[in-house]
Amino acid sequence: MFNSNSLNQNSPSIIRKSSSPNPNKPASSPALTCGPNTGPAALVADANPGDELQFFWTGADKSNWLHNTGPMLTYLANCGDVTCDKFNTSAKWFKIDQVGRKSEGSSDWVQADLMTGVPATVSLPSNLTPGNYLIRHEIIALHLATSFQGAEFYPTCAQLKVGGTSTGAPMQSEHVSFPGRYSDNDKGIYDPDVFNVRATYVFPSPQIASFVSGSSDAPAPSSGSSPSSSKAPSASSTKGALSPSATSASSNSRAGKSCKLKKSSCKSAFAAAASATMRLRHVSRVMRCRRACSAD
């Protein structure tokens, strides 16, 4: 498991450290990339296509996440020939996952499950081309989104090196930039009907990249306490956990982040790496990941 670094701590991690714990807004804020004033982290985690990541979101005091309304979205960006600890240019992102309400017409959001301490779960595409990637997991808290610029953005980024021999990749037209893609007027960001269960929630664009198996923009089905996804996870993936910490109900609440990477029993296990802790005033994140095992 990897923890993100606190503002006064510099332990090695794969999670990029932010300089401020506050909610990020408006949609044009430079902090929408990976958080405010982030730079490369010290470590890179090995992963495989189909690996399942878990993001644990908690408060800085390790209390459970306090927001329950709004989507969670996951993006990847290819760092090219260099490992992502050496990559700090404007990344081009493509979406691999999004979850919103548990079902059409429900008042319950998958995000609310974080309040019970369960992680947000995301699978890397089972056909993802090998390479160096940043993964960006984001919560958009919409409890104030009935007002213009009321949405609160909580992005976090971690550094991965994906192995394998797959060839799945996004089309050029599916790449986006942060900031730049979102607007404060976008559906799913400024949403006067966010508490109206009869109104269909529209995720902020872009759509999930077309190469991702089972990609869809439909509302995620209910899956109990486990976060559901609008893409079908790989059947071969094993469960891991990437955990960010939750925000509080007010913009003055505290939170922290952390990320954990566990070795699996697979033949090619993750490289060992030191654990670090990151605390933010408003949000905290943790990341854990296990590799998908393949037959020898």
Q: How confident is the model at residue 58 (pLDDT cuts 50, 70, 90)?
A: confident
In the chain, where the domains are located: 1-296
pLDDT at position 41 over 50: yes
CB of 159 closer than 8 Å to CB of 201: no
Task: State pTM to two decimals.
Answer: 0.77
Q: How confident is the model at residue 258 (pLDDT cuts 50, 70, 90)?
A: very low
Question: Which two three-digit tokens encode residue 233?
Answer: 């996870």
pLDDT tens for 206-219 read: 999 999 976 554 44
CB of 2 closer than 8 Å to CB of 260: yes
Mean pLDDT of 167-172: 96
pLDDT at position 154 over 60: yes
More confident call, 225 vs 141: 141
Name the CATH topology of 1-296.
Coagulation Factor XIII; Chain A, domain 1 (2.70.50)
**Listed residue (118, 155, 158) closest to 31, CA to CA:** 155
CA dihedral sign of residues 173, 175, 179, 185: positive
* 101 contact partners, CB below 8 Å, separation of at least 6: 107, 108, 109, 110, 201, 219, 220
pLDDT at position 240 over 60: no
Mean pLDDT of 126-146: 97
Per DSSP, 224 falls in state T
pLDDT tens for 6-17 read: 455 567 889 888
pLDDT at position 242 over 60: no
Question: Which two three-digit tokens encode residue 151?
Answer: 């949405």
Mean pLDDT of 107-130: 95
Q: Give the Cα separation of 159 and 254 in Å (integer).
A: 25
Q: How confident is the model at residue 190 (pLDDT cuts 50, 70, 90)?
A: very high
Mean pLDDT of 32-52: 92
Q: What is the identity of the amino acid at 232?
A: A
Report the range of poorest mean pLDDT among 61-65, 250-254, 266-270.
266-270
More confident call, 174 vs 285: 174
More confident call, 71 vs 251: 71
pLDDT at position 288 over 90: no
More confident call, 269 vs 33: 33
Q: Give the Cα separation of 291 and 269 in Å (integer).
A: 7
Residue 179: asked if its preceding bond is cis (omega within 30°), the reply is yes
Q: What is the identity of the amino acid at 265?
A: S
Residue 36: asked if its preceding bond is cis (omega within 30°), the reply is no
pLDDT at position 163 over 90: yes
More confident call, 30 vs 284: 30
Q: What percent of the chain has pLDDT over 70?
A: 68
For strands 52-58 and 284-290, give the pairing: antiparallel
State residue 1's pLDDT score.
Answer: 63
